[in-house]
Structure 1
Amino acid sequence: MKHVTNIKRRRLGTNGPEVAVIGLGAMGMSDLYGPADETESVATLHAAIDAGVNLIDTGDFYGSGHNEMLIGRVIRERRREDLVISVKFGSRRTPDGGFQPVPYDVSGPAVRDRLAYSLRRLGTDYIDIYRPARLNPQIPVEETVGALREMQEAGWIRHIGLSELGAATIRRAAAVAPISDLQIEYSLLSRSPEESIIPTLRELGIGLTAYGVLSRGLLSGHWRPDRELSGNDFRAISPRFQGENLQANLRLVDALGRVAERLGATTSQVAIAWVAAQGDDIVPLVGARRRNRLAESLGAADLLLDQAALDEIERAIPRGSAAGERYAAPMMATLDSEK
């Protein structure tokens, strides 16, 4: 197993912040992946920062604000200027913890309102990267980005980010204001961004922060087919975790595990390192909720994959070989990036 030594840094896009080559996604500490230990979550956040990770990604709807408050506890104990906090907004929740089946609220007034609440929960006077979580087809992306630009000019946000948008919409957004990065699912099992999105980002000088790099645990090497999932665990309804799809995907993971063994690394480290190896403009986000999983994930920063290793990984998990979509059909329909 590889261990991180001196974590490298990359810049998010032409005008974005400099961040560690691996970032930390905090969603699972509050939501959608079953129960989490709050004390361990705080310890994991501190451990990540101590290891040199400065990009922490959250959403105002993760745990209906709980995730921001959790991160806010950590911010108060650290040097704020050392951190890059990325926040998504727009999704609407229900009192029982569900999601409202309505389009994302990314209007101009919503930008200002949701930002105000996030600043208060995080206990900070600015957010480094603020981004809509999804597109609302009824609201022009120019309106959303225009409002974000106003908040940037006022000093409440440092950079404007995007999430899950297709190439044409990215171009429209970038015509309104400079964009630091696009956040999108990208992994060995989810490679659709390679078709038109990544080339567009590179043409425009926009970085990519990749979430789901372990395909929500599938590529971790720790998933077992008989694992029981709680009712609020998103994977209980994810197509890739169901029946024959799961069996087929785990066979791919087994093949990747054999490659990892030959490289002297773990399966998850190879999966993360593969994403990082796709370009210096790409930063993988890992969703570690515990310090031991964080340490394993950060070991990917020291794993250098030469062309022979990349070719071997490609043979283990060929492009397009994943069984099942990454979301259930209703959620897939909300993704501008898939159109």
Structure 2
Amino acid sequence: MRERPFGRTGRSVSEIGFGAWAIGASWGSVDDRESRAALNAALDSGVTFIDTADVYGDGHSEKLIASVLKERGGERPFVATKAGRRLPEQTVEGYSAENLSNWIDRSLQNLEVDTLDLVQLHCPPTALFSQREVFERLDRLVESGKIRNYGVSVEKIEEAEKALDYPGVQSVQIIFNAFRQRPAKEFFARAQAAQVAVIARVPLASGLLSGKFKPDTRFEADDHRQFNRHGEAFDVGETFSGVPYEVGLAAVERIRPLVEGDATMAQLALRWILMFDAVTVVIPGAKNPAQAQGNAEAAALPPLSEETMTAIRQIYDEDIAPHVENRW
């Protein structure tokens, strides 16, 4: 497992990480034994970066991570969490010093640590990125010792670019995959110039890019791929990357012939992301050990050919871009 520098923090992390949303909630049935096994499989495969949030299962994801790491002992991986989605309604005013402190105290308790490696504002309102005082509050939390670093998780390119204006921002988490290619156009170059880490989330487009879904695939009622198809609960871009399901299925069939050797479609999709040097770490989720190990093994695939990269770009331009390019 190769590592990449995590921005200006002085830390390096595995280029494949572990996204811990699925072991918390909103992805259908969750089995804690399988979740623990998935985490252990990822860590055994060389993963040194875990991404979670205080709202994933109302803290359940954070607590599971703490339990597994305590049981394993040894050197801790880099654990990133998020704060802000506990607000009943997303407003700039909700990101007060008191609320930020309370959210962070709760994550400290859940993760059983004295200092959080990284706290990311969890897809806050666009207007917040013009409020310097919010970032100054985070600076003070760093000074207090509660957090080592802070960053942002965003929905839109404009939010990611604005975040780079704040010197304390160490990382930007953004949706980036073969169905959401716009970040690579200009944002990646700016992030590299600022030495800001880039965390690529939703790398498999909520599983679409695994190639396992069909038109008649059914999802459980508590799975966001069922209840958030049109953005009913949160930004629709988080579900299938905002691509209409049937459109995504058709594009997947165009990508499938590009898979070579023993690789899976999911591994191809992850390796495609790693072709971009600006990406620090990609965070696929996993609900069982086989998924976690398969994700980690994507890092060992050889670089994709220029022909494959061109073909994926063409599929995006023709089939996907009209649905997503100008929306996020």
SS in 1 for 2:272: helix
- Indicate how the Cα distance of structure 1 residues 255 and 137 shifts in structure 2: closer, same or farther if over 3 A, else same: closer
**Could you tell which deviates more after superposition, 64-73 or 173-182?**
173-182
Residues 1:323 and 1:201: Cα distance change in structure 2 (over 3 Å): closer
Judged with a 3 Å threshold, the aligned counterparts in structure 2 of structure 1 residues 61 and 35 are, in CA distance, closer, same or farther, namely same
When structure 1 is superposed on structure 2, of 156-165 and 83-92 the one drifting more is 156-165
Counterpart of 2:235?
none
Rounded to whole Å, the distance in 1 between the matches of 2:269 and 2:275 is: 10
Q: How many Å apart are 1:318 and its aligned residue?
A: 2.5
Question: Residues 218 and 250 of structure 1 are in contact (CA less than 8 Å); yes or no, is this contact kept in structure 2?
Answer: yes
In the alignment, which of 196, 213, 225 is matched to residue 206 of structure 1? Answer: 196
1:179 aligned residue (137, 146, 169):
169
Does the 8 Å CA contact 2:126/2:159 hold for their aligned counterparts? no
Offset at 1:313?
3.1
Structure 1 unaligned regions, length at least 5 = 1-6, 94-99, 327-331, 333-337
**Equivalent pair of 2:119/2:147 in contact (CA under 8 Å):** yes
Partner of 1:267: 265
Which deviates the most, 162-171 or 175-184? 162-171
- Structure 1 residue 155: Cα displacement: 2.1
TM normalised by structure 2 equals 0.86
CA contact (8 A) 1:246 1:323 kept: no
Q: Would you say 1:251 and 2:250 are equivalent positions? A: yes
Cα offsets for 1:166-205 (capped at 9, x unmatched): 5665565445433221001111111222344223212211
Match of 1:279 among 260, 277, 301: 277
Deviation at 1:81, TM superposition (A): 4.1
1:41 — aligned with what? 35
Q: What does residue 53 of structure 1 align with? A: 47
Pairs within 5 Å for 1:128-207: 128-137=117-126, 139=128, 140-164=130-154, 169-170=159-160, 173-207=163-197
Q: Which moved more, 1:70-79 or 1:161-170?
A: 161-170
Partner of 1:295: 293
Please state how far the C-alpha of 1:16 moved relative to its aligned partner.
5.2
Residues in 2 aligned to 1:311 and 1:170: alpha-carbon distance in whole angstroms: 26
Candidates 77, 80, 99, aligned match of 1:83? 77
Closer, same or farther: CA 205–123 of 1 in aligned 2, 3 Å: same
Q: Percent identity?
A: 27
SS at match of 1:201: helix
State the Cα distance separating 1:56 from its structure 2 match: 0.5
Q: Residues of 2 paired with 1:166 and 1:250: CA distance?
A: 24
Question: In angstroms, what is the RMSD of aligned CA positions?
Answer: 2.5
- Residue 324 of structure 1 deviates from its aligned partner by 8.4
User: What's the offset of the Cα at 1:122?
Assistant: 0.8
Structure 2 portions without partners, runs of 5+? 231-238
Query: Structure 1: how far apart are the matches of 2:175 and 2:54?
Result: 19
Work out the CA distance in 1 between the residues paired with 2:113 and 2:289: 25
- 1:299 counterpart letter in structure 2: E
Matched residue SS, 1:292: helix
Q: 1:27 Cα deviation (Å)?
A: 0.5
**How many residue pairs end up in the alignment?**
312
Alpha carbons 1:15, 1:178 under 8 Å: kept: no
Q: Provide the rounded CA distance (Å) in 2 between the counterparts of 1:106 and 1:80.
A: 35
Q: Shift of the alpha carbon at 1:325? A: 5.6
Normalization by structure 1: what TM-score? 0.84
**Match status 1:108 vs 2:108:** no
Equivalent in the alignment of 1:117: 106
**One-letter amino acid of the structure 2 residue matched with residue 238 of structure 1:** R
SS in 1 for 2:215: coil
Read off the aligned partner of 2:79 and give its amino acid letter. I
